[in-house]
């Protein structure tokens, strides 16, 4: 019957026997309204129907369930008494609401309870209602907000069977431990739970997981900000979207329809051990199998074994870099890790490993910080962004064996796997001063001297932009109208042809405005500049800064951020202490140089440029003394005081001290430096900076390759 609602007024019952056994004949029960074999409860939109049904016209197995009303064939989406069918049609659905017990139950005529639900509180006006979503709810009758979810004391969506409907949750209530999972029917004639199930594995980084019994069978991967990690893009998938929600109270997976007029459901099939995506095609009057999971060889959980990757395109298994197969076919470490010298290899378009042995960090952690955290923990074997939107954010670290890895054709994310240093393939030899000169780089375009001479009007004085450590720089225009800058190596240059070629190779690879964040993080080659200073920052005619002079820069291999050299090069006054003393340079040594530069900009002074000052004093030390005395604004250049905001200048000084801290791990990376400069977030208190007293001051300055300090007089962007 249309829009049928079961309403039972509050009645006081005294039950003699536990509800799990029988309802005693001596109990007084008033059947105000009930469902019988011929009655149904229909949602307001007419899409779903609740009633009693049998399978294959059986006359001795009766079930209470929900199905699509408008779709022929009675597609069942939920069953109440799936484990205990009635053996004849004489049964009733009741609401019991009394001082002793609050329950919704299905009772047989011999008073056997076939199915029951405990209600957490006493209801004044209980109402059982089938919603338009297909959700059966028991709620408190309230005319003001009768459809609001807060009045539900029980709902069928919390107890799914083999079918997930739009809006139904698959997940866990973290407060109570209550789990919402799907379980397949044993077979088409038996809706009782089979062995095939699907639930949310609530690890540090939750992921939906299909199982056959307790054996993992397929993982969708964790939520990576835009979708689940293993989802393959399907052309035309426009009518539904996945949903992921997680907070301290609950975590769940769901899906929503963009067009509610197209019925869709996900169902588990025990016969094939597949999750089916089914869409109703009204014109064909049938369910279309839109998708099924798992589909291919590589989607079977752990099909290649631990520490191995399954290539989707090849349907083949390969051990990860640094691992080799043994006679049994397992992938084992070829060489042991060395915590101090390990690096990482980057895998792209990956479904990340099983998250059961994953540590999930907060979303404010960027990729560089994530790598540093993994490096500092000798047990960490891999890391990745947990959110791939934009430039990526969040951090996930893995420990132990890496399971269920696969390369995807058009999805996934970058994954960084820890390997011994010997396994890292690097292009750093192009810039290694201790090795022989390399062959011409294929990425560098070459021009005849006649073309270059013609574009610069034979290196005319009118086209000269200025001078640097290598020699003069000229502007020019090629025949196609492209404007160029030409650096001509001078015979009197303080640097050699190796450094000159190194800079050319780097400029060819870095087709981007040369900021430190780009060099350290966004470039396809991680670059450490090693000589950042005021004279190596160019300004174009719109005062946009560009980093120049890559003669001393180094490309680091893979995802490497640190290297040790025997040849310390750079400019005295800008070099970080760990680099000057131990030859250890990294992204954090560039951050130190940036801190010096920032302090010079605010003060209008050079760190070591005024020879009239005492040899053992420098700008950093002067600034720090003013800071601890509470007079940091005294550092600001007089010409800036009138035109600048004192709070902004003070913030720049504060940030410079964070960049100048003695230990590299205390310094922020450039992405966080930029965030601090561009926002008003709170700043941590800096530790004492490296003041260059003692052993740094006693270094033989002649051992440092100091670059020409001349600044260019007319500057344009390169």
Question: What is d(CA 658, CA 654) in angstroms, rounded to the nearest whole number?
Answer: 7
**Which SS3 state, helix, strand or coil, does residue 669 take?**
coil
Residue 231 makes CB contacts below 8 A (sequence gap 6+) with 220, 221, 242, 411
Per annotation, catalytic residue among 372, 531, 549, 559: 531
487 is in an annotated binding site: yes
Question: What is d(CA 289, CA 281) in angstroms, rounded to the nearest whole number?
Answer: 10
Residue 267 makes CB contacts below 8 A (sequence gap 6+) with 162, 163, 164, 275, 276, 278
Evaluate whether 174 touches 263 at the Cβ level (below 8 Å): no
Question: What is d(CA 698, CA 679) in angstroms, rounded to the nearest whole number?
Answer: 40
**Which SS3 state, helix, strand or coil, does residue 486 take?**
strand
Of 568, 605, 585, 576, the C-alpha closest to 526 is 585
Question: What is d(CA 151, CA 149) in angstroms, rounded to the nearest whole number?
Answer: 5
Which letter does DSSP use for residue 567 in this model? S
Question: What is d(CA 156, CA 163) in angstroms, rounded to the nearest whole number?
Answer: 12
Residue 645 makes CB contacts below 8 A (sequence gap 6+) with none
Question: What is d(CA 608, CA 611) in angstroms, rounded to the nearest whole number?
Answer: 7
Evaluate whether 77 touches 50 at the Cβ level (below 8 Å): no
Count CB neighbours of 522 within 10 A. Answer: 13
Residue 401 makes CB contacts below 8 A (sequence gap 6+) with 306, 307, 357
Question: What is d(CA 274, CA 474) in angstroms, rounded to the nearest whole number?
Answer: 67
Q: Is 531 a catalytic residue?
A: yes
Give the HSE-up count for residue 48: Cα atoms under 13 Å, Cβ half-sphere. 19
Give the HSE-up count for residue 118: Cα atoms under 13 Å, Cβ half-sphere. 6
Evaluate the CA torsion angle 638, 642, 647, 652 in order and state its sign: negative
3-class DSSP string for 412-475: CEEEEEEECHHHCCCCHHHHCCCCCCCCCCCCCCCCCHHHHHHHCCCCCHHHEEEECCCEEEEE
**Pairing state of beta strands 308-311 and 405-407?**
parallel
Of 207, 201, 214, the C-alpha closest to 230 is 207
Evaluate whether 48 touches 132 at the Cβ level (below 8 Å): yes
**Pairing state of beta strands 264-269 and 163-164?**
antiparallel
Of 135, 109, 117, 140, the C-alpha closest to 25 is 109
Question: What is d(CA 279, CA 259) in angstroms, rounded to the nearest whole number?
Answer: 12
Evaluate whether 710 touches 704 at the Cβ level (below 8 Å): no
- Give the length of the chain: 718
Question: What is d(CA 396, CA 358) in angstroms, rounded to the nearest whole number?
Answer: 7
Question: What is d(CA 370, CA 691) in angstroms, rounded to the nearest whole number?
Answer: 29
Exposure of 399 by Cβ count < 10 A (0-12 exposed, 13-18 middle, 19+ buried)? middle
Element (H, E) at 371: helix 367-376
CA geometry: angle 184, 193, 53, nearest 5 deg:
85
Phi and psi, residue 507, nearest 5°: -60, -40
Binding residue ranges? 487
Binding residue ranges for ATP? 487
Query: Looking at the annotation, which residues are catalytic?
Result: 531
């Amino acid at each position: 019957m249309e829009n049928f609602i079961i309403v039972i007024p509050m009645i006081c019952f005294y039950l003699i026997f536990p509800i799990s056994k029988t309802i005693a004949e001596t109990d007084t029960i008033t059947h105000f309204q009930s469902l019988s074999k011929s009655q149904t409860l229909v949602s307001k939109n007419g899409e779903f129907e609740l009633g009693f049904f049998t399978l294959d016209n059986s006359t001795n197995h009766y079930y209470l369930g929900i199905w699509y009303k408008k779709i022929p064939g009675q597609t069942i989406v939920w069953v109440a008494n799936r484990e205990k069918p009635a053996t004849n049609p004489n049964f009733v659905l009741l609401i019991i609401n009394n001082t002793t017990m609050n329950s919704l139950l299905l009772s047989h005529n011999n008073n056997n309870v076939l199915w029951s639900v405990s209600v957490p509180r006493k209801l004044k006006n209980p109402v059982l209602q089938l919603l338009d979503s297909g959700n059966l709810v028991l709620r408190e009758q309230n005319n003001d907000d009768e459809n609001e979810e807060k009045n539900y004391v029980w709902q069928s969506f919390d107890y799914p069977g083999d079918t997930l409907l739009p809006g139904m949750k698959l997940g866990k209530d973290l407060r109570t431990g209550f789990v919402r999972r799907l379980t397949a029917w044993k077979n088409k004639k038996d809706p009782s739970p089979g062995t095939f199930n699907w639930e949310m594995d609530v690890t540090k980084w939750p992921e939906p997981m299909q199982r056959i019994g307790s054996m993992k069978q397929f993982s969708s991967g964790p939520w990576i900000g835009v979708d689940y990690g293993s989802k393959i893009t399907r052309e035309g998938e426009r009518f539904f979207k996945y949903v992921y929600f997680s907070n301290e109270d609950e975590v769940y997976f769901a899906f929503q329809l963009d067009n509610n007029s197209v019925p869709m459901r996900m169902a588990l099939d025990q016969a094939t051990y597949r999750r089916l995506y089914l869409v109703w095609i009204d014109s064909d009057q049938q369910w279309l199998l839109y998708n099924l999971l798992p589909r291919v060889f590589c989607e079977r959980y752990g099909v290649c074994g631990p520490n191995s990757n399954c290539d989707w395109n090849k349907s083949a298994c390969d051990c990860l870099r640094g691992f080799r197969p043994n006679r049994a076919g397992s992938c084992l470490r070829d060489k042991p890790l060395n915590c101090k010298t390990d690096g990482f290899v980057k895998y792209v378009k990956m479904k990340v490993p099983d998250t059961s042995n994953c540590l999930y960090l907060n979303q404010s952690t960027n990729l560089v910080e994530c790598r540093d955290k993994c490096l500092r923990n000798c047990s960490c074997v891999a890391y990745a962004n947990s959110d791939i939107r934009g430039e990526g954010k969040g951090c996930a670290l893995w420990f132990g064996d890496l399971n269920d890895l696969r390369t995807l054709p058009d999805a996934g994310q970058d994954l960084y796997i820890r390997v011994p240093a010997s396994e890292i393939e690097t292009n750093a030899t192009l810039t290694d001063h201790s090795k022989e000169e390399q062959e011409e780089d294929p990425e560098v375009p070459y021009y005849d001297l006649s073309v270059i001479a013609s574009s610069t009007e034979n290196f005319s004085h009118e086209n000269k932009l200025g001078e640097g450590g290598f020699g003069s720089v000229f502007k020019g225009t090629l025949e196609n109208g492209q404007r160029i800058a030409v650096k001509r190596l001078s015979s009197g240059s303080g640097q050699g042809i190796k450094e000159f070629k190194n800079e050319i190779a780097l400029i060819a690879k870095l087709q981007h405005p040369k900021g430190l964040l780009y060099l350290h993080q966004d470039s396809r080659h991680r670059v450490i500049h090693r000589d950042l200073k005021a004279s190596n920052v160019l300004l174009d005619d719109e005062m946009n800064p560009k980093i120049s002079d890559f003669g001393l820069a180094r490309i680091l291999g893979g995802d490497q951020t640190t290297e040790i050299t025997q040849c310390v090069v750079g400019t005295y006054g800008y070099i970080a202490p760990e680099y000057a003393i131990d030859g250890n340079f990294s992204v954090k040594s560039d951050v130190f140089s940036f801190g010096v530069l920032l302090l010079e900009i605010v003060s209008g002074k050079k760190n070591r440029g005024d020879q009239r000052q005492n040899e053992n004093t420098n700008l950093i030390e002067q600034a720090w003394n003013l800071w601890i005395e509470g007079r940091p604004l005294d550092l600001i250049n007089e010409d800036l005081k009138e035109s600048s905001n004192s709070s902004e200048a003070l913030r720049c000084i504060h940030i410079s001290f964070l960049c100048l801290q003695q230990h590299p791990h205390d310094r922020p990376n450039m992405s966080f430096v930029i965030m601090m400069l561009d926002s008003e977030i709170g700043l941590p208190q800096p530790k004492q900076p490296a003041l260059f007293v003692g052993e740094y001051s006693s270094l033989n300055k002649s051992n440092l390759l100091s670059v020409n300090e001349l600044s260019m007089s007319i500057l344009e962007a390169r």
